[in-house]
Amino acid sequence: MRLNLKIWRQAGPNAAGRLVDYVAENVSPDMSFLEMLDVVNESLLRKGEESIAFDSDCREGICGMCSLVVNGVPHGPDRGTTVCQLHMRRFKDGDTITIEPWRARAFPVVKDLVVDRSAFDRIIAAGGYVSINCGGAPDGNAIPIPKDVAEAAMDSAQCIACGACVAACKNASAHLFMSAKISQLALLPQGDAERERRVVAMIEQADAEGFGSCSNEAECEAVCPKEIPISNIAKMTREYVRAVLAAK
């Protein structure tokens, strides 16, 4: 296939950015989206031009590093997938593809398609963990947890902190990410001791980072590669109200 690419190029966080036209030649339908970008970069290097900066790591849909907006949709047109799982068979010969970074004040552009998502790390550091000393790891069945509760916790734990929810939200809200982490720990007995402090600290940190509020329009759920449900946001709100009332 031959594809026309419009790719965001930006030299640094304080530089002006713009969309630059490229042509990707001899693209196999079996290539992943990132393999296609690798081919484009190889072509640029052969010409003595600077390669396009983009993030990737596992290329298996696990790490969440491949944060690209493809034709206006975070992670591209396929539901429940990351960019590294998106294959070029999804496009047709001659298609024009626009590729941009996440767009959010809390995710400043580092270079080209790379954004700084350390705001998520600071939210987790504010409370997304269990710090109570529980001793050695107990046997798997030592703490009885109902199957439906354990499954709900694991559904939330699937969040890979990629930031697609923020990129899709018109308010750049991190509520789906936060609610997944908060719900995961609030559902399990190990997280119960710190549940009130946790939810308040994480929400306050998100506000400090500049993330917006949730207007409950579900764009985040639609683009989440792990299909985290927005019901977690309702649970986070209940946890927050409970924590605030308990503090009075």
pLDDT per residue over 8-66, tens digit each? 999 999 999 999 999 999 999 999 999 999 999 999 999 999 999 999 999 999 999 99
Residue 36 confidence (pLDDT): 98
Residue 135 confidence (pLDDT): 63
pLDDT in tens, 76-95: 999 999 999 999 999 999 99
Phi-psi region of 94 (alpha: psi -120 to 50; beta: other; left: phi over 0): left
Query: Rounded CA gap, 56 and 179, in Å?
Result: 25
Residue 247 confidence (pLDDT): 82
For the chain, the domains span 3-110, 117-247
Q: What is the pTM of this model?
A: 0.92
pLDDT in tens, 94-142: 999 999 999 999 999 999 999 999 999 999 999 999 887 666 666 656 7
- Sign of the dihedral defined by the CA atoms of residues 96, 110, 16, 49, in that order: negative
Residue 138 confidence (pLDDT): 64
Residue 145 confidence (pLDDT): 86
CATH code: domain 117-247 is 1.10.1060.10
Residue 248 confidence (pLDDT): 74
Evaluate whether the domain defined by 3-110 bears CATH number 3.10.20.30: yes
Chain mean position to CA 41? 24
Average pLDDT over residues 202-217: 96
